[in-house]
Chain A
Amino acid sequence: MIKIQNIEEYYDLLKQLKETCGRFITNSYLSVAELERYIKLDRLYCLKQEFGFVFLCDEEKYYRLLYWLKAGSTLSISSSEKPIAVRTIYRENNKREELVSLEEELQRRGFQKEYSAFEMCVPLEAKDNISRQNKVFLRMLQKGKFYIADMRPEDIDKMHVLREDKDFHIYNFPYKTQDEYFHEIANNQYISVFNENDEMCACIYTDILESYVTGDGICVEDKYKGTYGLGAALMCHVLNMALNEQDKRYVSWCETENHNSIKFHNSIGFVNTGKVSDEWILK
């Protein structure tokens, strides 16, 4: 396993692949900025394969594997000191032959499918409905003396605790430095619900992309779950921000076995987009 030192090295490897392998498959859609970030943090590694490369992004608790392989080629990888996660994304009922073959290869190498998720979105057409819901939710929050505001830097530790909830997989959370958290907080990307004592009770991470807004699952402190509707209120607040302030649809992923989450997403106006992702793990 070699550590990638600079972006040129990365692109040289891909150039080699294109020259020698012809048609290849990949699950890597990292931007140059994202790649440079991993390199700068000393967290991007490469494993040479017979016909291609796999790159491992060190996410602290696990490795995220990105492959660039000749279609139908074998994979040479063994378990490591931490789990290795491979995410494959495809259209429901339309998995390409190359992907089926890759998944068979992953299974031969000891990977197991940990969970699947499907993409859901709230389209722009729902903006009026979301706006109406949001106004009512805000009044409901007032009743319990809760309020919504940007997360504060001192809440980062509590957010990590909330993310340890059984409903979340570690593979949903990439590694971030403390400075990156501070930067995102300053950029208003974490939104929270606070109680009357200014204690954070729930939070969500959001990211405004060019054509849509996305975010993580909502974390709610156990003692507030299912009683005050904090998660729904927070989700509605974020949807209202996306649809009515940013004029963008909101996109999120929902695990196929998490029936409560599916019910929640459907009730608030999410619709299935038909995109599925499988998380394969080698422990």
Chain B
Amino acid sequence: MDNLIKYNQIFMDSFSLKEEELEGNPTMEAVELWDSVGHVNLVATVEDTFGIEMTIEEMSDFVSYAKGLDILRGYGIEI
């Protein structure tokens, strides 16, 4: 549960989103601040927070809130 709170906080901080907006599975296409720089900041923050290093494919696949959860679960992180 703590991990989900951390993950949600990263999204809210990175893209100025409210918690309830996360329920709609925000995507790279729909979120204005989620551009190439925003994406890099998101990946770097997620990696630092959860102590992982995404592969190039995972970085490319990380195009939505839900996809990010899947990637973290792939690293054995309970979320």
11 more CB-based (< 8 A) A-B contacts, given A229-B37, A267-B35: A132-B48, A133-B40, A136-B43, A139-B59, A140-B39, A143-B59, A232-B36, A232-B40, A267-B37, A267-B38, A268-B37
Cross-chain contact A232 with B59 (CB below 8 angstroms)? no
Contact A143-B36, Cβ < 8 Å, known A133-B41, A133-B44: no
The 6 closest A-B pairs by CB, nearest first: A229-B36, A267-B37, A132-B44, A143-B56, A136-B40, A232-B37
* Interchain Cβ contacts within 8 Å, total number: 43
A95 CB within 8 Å of chain B: no
Cross-chain contact A136 with B44 (CB below 8 angstroms)? yes
On chain A, the residues within 8 Å of B38 by CB distance are: 267
What is A's interface to B at a CB cutoff of 8 Å?
Answer: 132-133, 135-137, 139-140, 142-143, 228-229, 232-233, 236, 264, 267-268
Q: How many of chain B's residues have a CB under 8 angstroms from any CB in A? A: 15
Contact A140-B37, Cβ < 8 Å, known A132-B44, A133-B44, A135-B44: no
On chain B, the residues within 8 Å of A232 by CB distance are: 36-37, 40
Least CB distance from A134 to B in Å reads 9
Q: Which of A140, A236, A267 has a CB less than 8 Å from the CB of B59?
A: A140
Distance, CA A133 to CA B39, complexed state (A): 10
Interface of A (DSSP majority class):
helix
What is the 8 Å Cβ interface bit string for chain B, positions 35-75, against chain A (1 contact, 0 not)?
11111110110011000000010011000000000000000
Closest residue of chain B to A230 (Cβ to Cβ) is: B36
On chain B, the residues within 8 Å of A268 by CB distance are: 37
Cross-chain contact A142 with B43 (CB below 8 angstroms)? no
Least CB distance from A280 to B in Å reads 33
14 contacts between A and B (CB under 8 A): A133-B37, A135-B44, A136-B47, A139-B56, A143-B60, A228-B36, A229-B37, A229-B40, A232-B36, A232-B40, A233-B36, A267-B33, A267-B35, A267-B38
Least CB distance from B28 to A in Å reads 12
Closest residue of chain B to A142 (Cβ to Cβ) is: B56
Q: Which of A135, A136, A139, A143 has the most chain B CB atoms closer than 10 A to its own CB?
A: A136
Distance, CA A136 to CA B48, complexed state (A): 11
Q: Which of B33, B40, B43, B60 has the most chain A CB atoms closer than 10 A to its own CB?
A: B40
Distance, CA A268 to CA B35, complexed state (A): 11
Distance, CA A193 to CA B48, complexed state (A): 27
Contact A137-B40, Cβ < 8 Å, known A132-B48, A267-B35: yes
On chain B, the residues within 8 Å of A233 by CB distance are: 36
On chain A, the residues within 8 Å of B36 by CB distance are: 140, 228-229, 232-233
What is the 8 Å Cβ interface bit string for chain B, positions 11-45, against chain A (1 contact, 0 not)?
00000000000000000000001011111110110
